[in-house]
Structure 1
């Protein structure tokens, strides 16, 4: 792991947040939920191939946390990746924030593609339901990452599988919570939206990490680590996730 990997995680997460949140906050009325889901999934797919060879393209602290608990990366790398991802999420949202101010009548306060529950959920889901939804959705995402990045005869398929999974999760999660499943993706928009988006942010930081931990536990049950091979794999093992 080197500075190029950290730069890749920062840049990749910034781009993922910029394009994904732009689709949700600006393009939503025009492209609808299917369009938003496709943007998130296709951008992640592209970033996985672009940055995967450099950093593994985690692009999500929950993915990094799951890989850490699965002993696929070390603690030092996990911390540096998470910091870079969160910083990238804030920068990506900040660039979008600067752009939307050129749109007449565009409202940022309390919205801006941020996540939420209660009155901020399309279906009015409560806090407990939102926490469960975010944890379960993230668990599936991290499980897919752990599965497809395991030594495979067709490693090139990993990016496609992860991107398609994210699109499916967005379709399910959008009406529930806005579909966070990524603390860095939730952090950036909430900081600029402020108000209720910021007060509810804690759930979208904690629940995805719980989901990542659950995924690591399931992965360990399905793929027990042998004593002879219980050494953490190279720090860059993974390809993406939102």
Structure 2
């Protein structure tokens, strides 16, 4: 069993990597003249952050990087209740630091102006990239987080082929962003939403509740659904195994 402080550091750093890499691609590279990476590039960047961290720290902390993933794994009987709060605190702290570092870098550019949609904040209504409604945002965040947790729980099941979980999970997050960036700028991760919203403030902070409620709701549904669908694994996943989500 790897000591909790080490796991928390891994979770904090991994979430920093996800927010800095994913949101950083949107803020610094998405619309760069001549070589802008666009929606597809930002989607791939988010997927790559999870894939690279899963192979790097998956054997240390499980590489959740997301409060909804932590809670969904608990609902799927893959994670102990006593470690939920420390994991979430570490994840949110990593996201806040990443947002601050990204803002500091972006402010060094000649065209950056801190506004209500800066730092790739999530939102609905006028905060949505496509001006989608609250109901649209709620539905897509629940549905996609549910799907994300099903992929995570299935790919990290001890009965699944070993060593390939990070690839499936990274590609799933890429797909999720390809679908939902126009709707909410894609959360499925309360920590990822919290870091930028705290710095931008205003409407982004007022709408933050949705990006905690919807992902956690989708994750809880997925945890119960996977337990019903697949039954109990042949052997419990243990901390230290190189599989994302294997923390019990």
**TM-score normalised per structure 1:** 0.92
8 Å Cα contact 1:187-1:201 kept in structure 2: yes
Per the alignment, in what secondary structure is the counterpart of residue 122 of structure 1?
A: coil
2-side partners of 1:123 and 1:11: how far apart?
A: 31
Structure 1 residue 235, shift from structure 2 partner = 5.2
Is 2:241 the counterpart of 1:239? no
Is 2:7 the counterpart of 1:24? no
Per the alignment, in what secondary structure is the counterpart of residue 77 of structure 2?
A: coil
Structure 1 residue 121, shift from structure 2 partner = 1.5
2-side partners of 1:220 and 1:233: how far apart?
A: 14
Per the alignment, in what secondary structure is the counterpart of residue 201 of structure 1?
A: coil
Structure 1 residue 103, shift from structure 2 partner = 0.9
Structure 1 residue 224, shift from structure 2 partner = 2.7
8 Å Cα contact 1:72-1:235 kept in structure 2: no
2-side partners of 1:148 and 1:225: how far apart?
A: 14
**When the two structures are aligned, how many residues end up with a matched partner?**
237
CA deviations 1:198-236 (Å, max 9, x no partner) are 11111011110001011112101102349x98xx75356
8 Å Cα contact 1:66-1:213 kept in structure 2: yes
Is 2:199 the counterpart of 1:192? yes
Partner residue of 2:6?
A: 4
8 Å Cα contact 2:27-2:106 kept in structure 1: no
Q: 1:153 to 1:70 in 2, by over 3 A?
A: closer
2-side partners of 1:133 and 1:82: how far apart?
A: 23
Per the alignment, in what secondary structure is the counterpart of residue 192 of structure 2?
A: helix
**TM-score normalised per structure 2:** 0.90
2-side partners of 1:56 and 1:208: how far apart?
A: 19
Q: Give 1:83's match in structure 2, choosing from 84, 89, 94.
A: 89
Is 2:138 the counterpart of 1:131? yes
Partner residue of 1:15?
A: 17
Structure 1 residue 101, shift from structure 2 partner = 1.2
CA deviations 1:84-113 (Å, max 9, x no partner) are 111111111111111111012312221220
2-side partners of 1:63 and 1:136: how far apart?
A: 14
How large is the RMSD of aligned CA atoms in angstroms? Answer: 1.8
Partner residue of 1:50?
A: 56
CA deviations 1:36-61 (Å, max 9, x no partner) are 01111112111110010111101111
8 Å Cα contact 1:6-1:81 kept in structure 2: yes
Gaps of 5+ in 1: none
Is 2:172 the counterpart of 1:168? no
